[in-house]
Amino acid sequence: MKLQLALDIFNLDEALGLAEKLKEYVDIIEIGTPFVLEYGLEAVRQFRAKFPDKRILADTKIMDAGELESAAAFKAGADYVTVLAVTDIATINACVETANKYGKEIVADMICVEHIPEKIEQLEAIGVHGIAVHTGVDQQKRGRTPMDDLKVMKTYSKSAEISVAGGISLETVPAYAALNPDVLIVGGGITNATDPVQEAKLIYEKISL
């Protein structure tokens, strides 16, 4: 199981500095959507330059122009690029084909997907490399949980790597880890901790057992 560090709302220099402190315990560094909006792909370029041995995910949440937008992120240094699973399948397919061309990977973000089993079958049929549980904040307020979605996705997925996010913390890691996702995504659970390095270390140790 890999640990993905989600970096969302930070000054770029501060984020680079924090990632430097945490790199020993992190497998994938996620350049979150707010980061991409604030700094563009320059954030990806700088993280790639500073962390040549780490996997970088650009959370672009592509909705259209799949080939153009995914190619731009891959050229900037991303290893993974996200596309919204609710968009047209042609857009997702264009992203997958582009990823294969560059030897990289596409992760389909499942936020707002209503019929998860059918969507998983469709995504895996075109070769999507990863599928990410993403239960929106507003959905969670209505009682839907990332844990529920993860259970469904683990049941129906046959080939894609499964990742999960959604307010995961040191306290909830064991419950998520028990469902055996391929990637556990933690943001504020690490970055907002009193001691982010210690928190990352403890989480990393829990999922490495």
- Condensed to tens digits (0 to 9), the pLDDT of residues 161-189 reads 999 998 899 999 999 999 999 999 999 99
pLDDT at 192 over 90: yes
pLDDT at 166 (0 to 100): 83
pLDDT at 39 over 90: yes
pLDDT at 142 (0 to 100): 81
Both tokens assigned to 184: 């556990």
pLDDT at 138 over 90: no
Q: Sign of dihedral through CA atoms 38, 113, 100, 95?
A: negative
pLDDT at 44 (0 to 100): 98
pLDDT band at 68 (very low <50, low <70, confident <90, very high): very high
**Percentage of the residues of the chain whose pLDDT score is greater than 90:** 89
Q: What is the DSSP letter of 143?
A: T
pLDDT at 140 over 80: no
Domains detected in the chain? 2-207 (3.20.20.70)
- Condensed to tens digits (0 to 9), the pLDDT of residues 80-136 reads 999 999 999 999 999 999 999 999 999 999 999 989 999 999 999 999 999 999 877
Are 70 and 83 in contact by the 8 Å Cβ rule? The answer is: yes
Neighbours of 8 (CB within 10 A): 17
pLDDT at 129 (0 to 100): 98
pLDDT band at 48 (very low <50, low <70, confident <90, very high): very high
**Percentage of the residues of the chain whose pLDDT score is greater than 70:** 100
Please compute the mean of the pLDDT values over residues 146-157 and round it to a whole number. 94
pLDDT at 124 (0 to 100): 98
- At residue 124, φ and ψ (nearest 5 deg) are -70, -25
**Mean pLDDT (the chain, rounded):** 95
Are 38 and 10 in contact by the 8 Å Cβ rule? The answer is: no
Q: Which of 70, 45, 71, 51 is nearest to 60 (CA)?
A: 70
Q: CA 27 to CA 21: how far, in whole Å?
A: 13
